[in-house]
Every structure is written in C-alpha cells, then in structure tokens.
Structure 1
C-alpha cells in the first residue's frame, strides 16, 4: 500500500471504514464491493468515476480514508479517453492506454497521499503489472517460475519467426504488452515453412484493423498471421514459450488464485477447449477438489499452487490484492506463473479457501477485512508453509 497516515487516524478493528472506490459506477466490480461493505456494516463507499478522474474533476480525499483503485474497463467513454478511439472493441492503442492510465493513477495516488489517505495499489507496481514484459522480468528476477520469454522488442512477423526458430520455440504465446482479459493474445504454432496456426479471439476487419470478439478462431495462412503480428507489434508484445498445460475433463486447465495482503485466499480452476481459459471466451469453472486430488496423486499439494501465487504477489507488496494465474503443467507435477493481474478479483460467489480466514467471504469482503491493518501500516506477509499447517 501507499504510505499510511499515523496509527491514530486508522480505525480500530470492527470500526466503520471511510471508503472511496475509484471505478466505473455502473460496473459490477463497484456494485459487488459496495454490497460487501454494506454486509460488513460500513457506510456506503463513495464512488469517484474514472471518467471524472480522466477529465480533471479533482481528488477530494481525507485523512484515514481508504481508496480502492478498481479497473477502468468495460466503459466505452473511459476507454475512449484512455485509448483515443471511439471503437471499444479495437485491439490497437494499448500503449497509449497504458501511458494515460498510469499517468492518471500517479496523479490520483499523489493526491491521496498528500491528503493522508491510503490507496489499495501502488501506481508504479500497477504500471509493471500492466506491462507483461516488465512483470515477467520482475517475477523471473525473484525466481518465481515463469515460462521462457524472448528478450527485446518484436518489430514484426519476419523477425519474430526467425527469433522463434533460433530459440527452438515452435509454440509460443504472443501477448500485447499492455493487454488484459486475453485481448489480442495469440497462441502461435510454427511447424515449418508455410505451416503456421494462430489461435486468437482477434478478428481482422477488411480495413486491416484488429477487433476483439467473443469467438476464438484459427488463422492458418501465413499472410494472415503476418498481418496479425505486424499489427500488434507497434504497441509492444511479450512472447513466451507455450507450455503444455494439465487437463481436466479433456479441457486445458489452469488456476486463478486471489492473493489478499500477501495471503492466497481464493482459488478457482478454469478450463477450456481453447489455449485461453478466460471465462468470457468460452472457458468454464472446473473442479478444485478434482485438481487437488490430481496434484496429490503426484505427491504434491494444493499448497504448492498457493505458495507459488504468494511468491508472485510478494513482488508487488504495495498492492493489496492481485489475481495470479497459475499454469499446472502436464501431469499436475509442476506449476508456473502465467499472469499477475492488478484487477483479478472479479470472481462472483466464490468464497475463501479453508484455513485462510476467508471462509464464507467473497474476494471483496476479504479485502475489506484486511483494510484496517493496511490503514494502520502493519501489513506483513504470513510465514511460508502456513497452508499445510492450516490443512489446505
């Protein structure tokens, strides 16, 4: 978290919290947090709309206030302000989006700190979280398991194909550096001259522009694949080895683990017949107990997954909550981190794992319970190994 006010300004445990949400008022993230605050007996959070922040409305913060920074997504006007286009489905423009969003977040956080308020996220950490190249480098430097990635910039299809050949990487994920929700992500296979396949939710329009869709499709013409990569490259892309994931029910599987104040509290299995498991692209929630049994059959424990998620979250100590995507490799024996998401807590109706203190609580209620400690400046990571002791 950002520097907190003195302990005298921090509420005691159980006392009502003064809360502000910086988000999109109509968004279900804002609504779910509002509902969690009401259930916990706190006054309704004040909502500061992203569109107002981005148009210079000012920042009326107060000492001891907790300011939740939420996603600016799913709002066409906000997207236009950040991306500079009136086409909300457009994939291009992510570099401009990142520059404008992080700039606004830095200004907002500075105003909150000046007023003695505490924010849920550090702006410099969010800037890294929304740059997959920087995030991957930070995780790797901390010895968090991550897929091998190509170093340096990608300028287009021709150079990418040659670099993949040199790296002996015939299958790769090409990800827009500043993308989210699988926007623009390409699962790429290169089998030889003229033999390529790009699996993606991107639709290329006749004018050559890229648009997100809800249908995952395959491009098998090298001309089409080249045009796709060439269109993504100017905004920056991150390229990493496509690792074979474990499966559940014949579908590729991974984990989304929510880490709150350093502790993994919620986990869900996501499965898909596509390489991308995002639920809006046809993914579905899998069976966590079945995944745990598969891990235990190899001599491992679910706590190995949770510890890996916490190891990744520890690279961002100033951010109250992150969602970590853990990839179980074929056989459920090893795990690697695919993504760390600044706004990865949208898992409606999911309650906390046993032994975490979040039993019966959704991700928003769990964060609310952690806020008094954050306000008092006493946030510390739990000791390693506590999952096994807690029986998870």
Structure 2
C-alpha cells in the first residue's frame, strides 16, 4: 500500500482536503512535513525512505515565516535582473505587512533553489516533480515552452525582446499595433501583480489587483482583492515599472466569450494526462479568479451554441499543455475561449491549480480523483510487471 509525504504549510485547507481524500479511499494519512522546518534545516527529505513512497509538494502559501525564509534563500542566488534585493539577515527581519508584494523575484529565486535541492533528496515518487513546479511558477519560461510546442497562447510581446520599462512597453505596443495588453508578474499567484492595460492615443487605463500606496514619498505595492483602475500616467508607470523589474510576462489582452452578459474563462484540471474537473469563471473584471468576487458556474452552463466537438478539442489542448511537463501528474490550466466559441488559448499553467472546492468529476473532488487515478495507474503497472514475469518464467 502506498504511503504519502505531504510537504506543505500545515495550517492550510489544502492539507485538510488531501487528508480527507486519503481517508475516503481507506489510505493511511499523509505525514506532513512543514516547509518552515525544511527551510530551517530541522529535517531533510532523504530521511523518508520506504517502498511505495509518494511525495506531494503543495503551495507554500499563507505563512509569512516561509516567505521570509524563501526571500532569504534567494539572496545568495546570482541573477542579472533589475529586481529589488535584500540580504538574508535583513530578509529574516522583515515584519508582516498584509498584502504587500515583497521581493517577488528574489522569493522565486529562493523557491527555485530550494526545489532543486529537495529534488535531490527524494527517495520515492512525486506527484509533481520539483523542477516542473519551478518552471510552472515562471510565467515567462512556461509560455515559451508552450509556444515551442505550438500550443495556442496569447501573442507575447516579449517573444523576441525584453520589455524593460513603462516607456519601452508603450513603444512596443505602438510598434506591434497592440492597444491592450496584460502585464503579469512572472512569479505571482492568485492574480497577484496582474495589470490589464490599454492605451488609445494619449488616453490610457490600467485595471489591476495592485494597490499603489504612497506615503511621504515612499511608494509601496500591495496585492488587493479589490480591483482598482488607474488613469494617471505616473501611477501607471510606477506599477508597470515595478512589475517589469521583478520579471513579468507581457501578452496581448484577448477578448473572451460571454456568459450571462459577462466574460468568462475556464479552469481545467488535468491529471494523469486526462482533463477532468472544470469550473467556469464568470468575470466582473478582466481578472476572473474566483477569490476576487467572480462567479463560478458548472460546465452545463456553457452557451447553447457551443459545439461538443469544439469543447473536446479545447480539452485536448489542455492535455497537450500538461504533457509539456511529463514528470508531473496534475496541474491546473486557465483556458481562454474566444467570442466565436471556436478559437482558444492557454493563459497559464498552475502546479497547484487543483484546489477546486465543490467541483466534482463523476462524484469525486479533485484530490480523491487524483489518488484514485494514481492507484489505478500503480495497479496497472504492477499487473503488467507480474504478467511479464510470468511470461518470462514460462519461456
């Protein structure tokens, strides 16, 4: 019987849901290894070594001590970028400031370095390989991989050049005849550091989750659930320059199909190579993330004009995108459906994008489905090995 090691922040609901899924299938509870202990060197993954052992990395979210440790780990990583930097000692001294976007590029460099280190310590199988997780956490690199595999994605303005500033962005938008773009923090999650920016003549507007706060000449940036609009060029420049310096994906802002008079897209969870759970996200703004107050709909709510074969084609595209990371068992994929209900594009891949509460496939939630598929895969492999051994013995 397989055993599970869950690397996570123990206080998150992801841990509770995964443990519940294990119990539902009469599997032993996972042993939880806190990120905080791993980062402090209080334990090492090579200490877990047993037959049929599976490691699952989950999102390192909602824990400021973990964020500080990852920022500190990134202090020693060489990187040519223009991002803000802080020393390791100063990183450990950072004080909580709810919602503030702190050193995102340095955080990622620390996260990537730790994932690479943990990958070398593992004696067993993994749900998602640590190096795949690191790549999916880099929107720029991830989109280039998809483009190289001819997966449909929004047109990237940074495919052949790096955009280094707000002024440079305006020049490139004019040169590439693109009036609307998304600027996305390369290493953000949950719509953190996302700007929908449009520029028509001298008029411009930025719709964003970023809150710009200025006090006594000090400008800070916060991730907010309240969508804000900026029209002041200086304020917009501040936000975009900050994101570009920290590394950002810049792509064409594509129109979406509409449902109930509002734009929508889909989160599709692919596991074991198959598209399973789907939730439609009906947007009140260009950012459709559900935690921003947008509405969820079941798959049955798709427009009546939607052809079944088109939908199957879109699911196949999601499966092809996931196949770019063959060492990972599951991922969440954001799928944009064009207004003509035919064209479609992959917006993002999320290594931890399987948290879809209340959305089921054949009556099972995402975690239970993953485990059931994993067990079926393991049993099929064991049966094939047994059959091969029996055949070999007869020969």
Q: TM-score, normalised by structure 2?
A: 0.85
Is contact 2:138-2:187 (8 Å) kept? yes
Q: Which residue of 2 aligns with 1:279?
A: 290
Change (3 A) 1:162 1:378: farther
Q: 2:2 aligns with which of 3, 6, 17?
A: 17
Deviation readout 1:96-149 (Å, 9 max, x if unpaired): 11111111112222111xx3x111112222221111111111001111000110
Q: Which has the higher contact order (CA 8 A, sep 6+)?
A: 1
Q: Does 1:61 align with 2:48?
A: yes
Q: Distance in 1 between matches of 2:164 and 2:380?
A: 44
Q: 2:104 aligns with which of 75, 86, 94?
A: 94
Q: 1:147 aligns with which of 126, 148, 154?
A: 154
Change (3 A) 1:231 1:343: same
Q: Distance in 2 between matches of 1:287 and 1:360?
A: 13
Q: Which residue of 1 aligns with 2:313?
A: 304
Q: Distance in 1 between matches of 2:351 and 2:41?
A: 23
Change (3 A) 1:139 1:46: same
Is contact 1:147-1:337 (8 Å) kept? yes
Alignment length, in residue pairs?
352
Structure 2: give runs of 5+ residues left out of the alignment: 72-90, 383-395
Q: Which residue of 1 aligns with 2:120?
A: 110
Q: 2:226 aligns with which of 176, 191, 215?
A: 215
Q: 1:260 aligns with which of 271, 294, 319?
A: 271
3-state DSSP class of the match of 1:293?
Answer: coil
Q: 1:166 aligns with which of 165, 171, 175?
A: 175
Instruction: Tell me by how many angstroms 1:348 deviates.
Output: 0.9
Is contact 2:115-2:131 (8 Å) kept? no
Instruction: Tell me by how many angstroms 1:305 deviates.
Output: 2.2
Instruction: Tell me by how many angstroms 1:183 deviates.
Output: 0.2
Is contact 2:198-2:204 (8 Å) kept? yes
Q: 2:165 aligns with which of 136, 150, 156?
A: 156
Identify the range of structure 1 (94-103 vs 248-257) with the bigger mean alpha-carbon deviation.
Answer: 94-103
Q: Distance in 1 between matches of 2:313 and 2:257?
A: 15
Match runs of 1:121-200 below 5 Å: 121-151=128-158, 152-193=161-202, 195-200=203-208
Instruction: Tell me by how many angstroms 1:375 deviates.
Output: 5.7
Q: Distance in 2 between matches of 1:378 and 1:93?
A: 44
Identify the range of structure 1 (92-101 vs 317-326) with the bigger mean alpha-carbon deviation.
Answer: 92-101
Change (3 A) 1:55 1:254: same
Is contact 1:172-1:241 (8 Å) kept? yes
Instruction: Tell me by how many angstroms 1:190 deviates.
Output: 0.5
Look at both structures and tell me which one has the larger radius of gyration over its CA atoms.
2
Q: 2:262 aligns with which of 251, 259, 263?
A: 251
Instruction: Tell me by how many angstroms 1:280 deviates.
Output: 1.1
Is contact 2:209-2:226 (8 Å) kept? yes
Q: Which residue of 2 aligns with 1:370?
A: 373
Q: 1:337 aligns with which of 325, 346, 350?
A: 346
3-state DSSP class of the match of 1:105?
Answer: helix
Structure 1: give runs of 5+ residues left out of the alignment: 1-15, 353-358, 380-392
3-state DSSP class of the match of 1:208?
Answer: strand
Instruction: Tell me by how many angstroms 1:332 deviates.
Output: 1.4
Q: Which residue of 2 aligns with 1:322?
A: 331
Q: Distance in 1 between matches of 2:102 and 2:49?
A: 38
Q: Which residue of 2 aligns with 1:76?
A: 64
Is contact 1:53-1:104 (8 Å) kept? no
Instruction: Tell me by how many angstroms 1:154 deviates.
Output: 2.2
Deviation readout 1:289-320 (Å, 9 max, x if unpaired): 13163312xx7432122111101101111111
Q: TM-score, normalised by structure 1?
A: 0.86
Instruction: Tell me by how many angstroms 1:371 deviates.
Output: 2.7
Deviation readout 1:219-253 (Å, 9 max, x if unpaired): 01111111111111211111000000001111110
Q: 2:28 aligns with which of 25, 28, 43?
A: 43
Q: Which residue of 2 aligns with 1:203?
A: 211
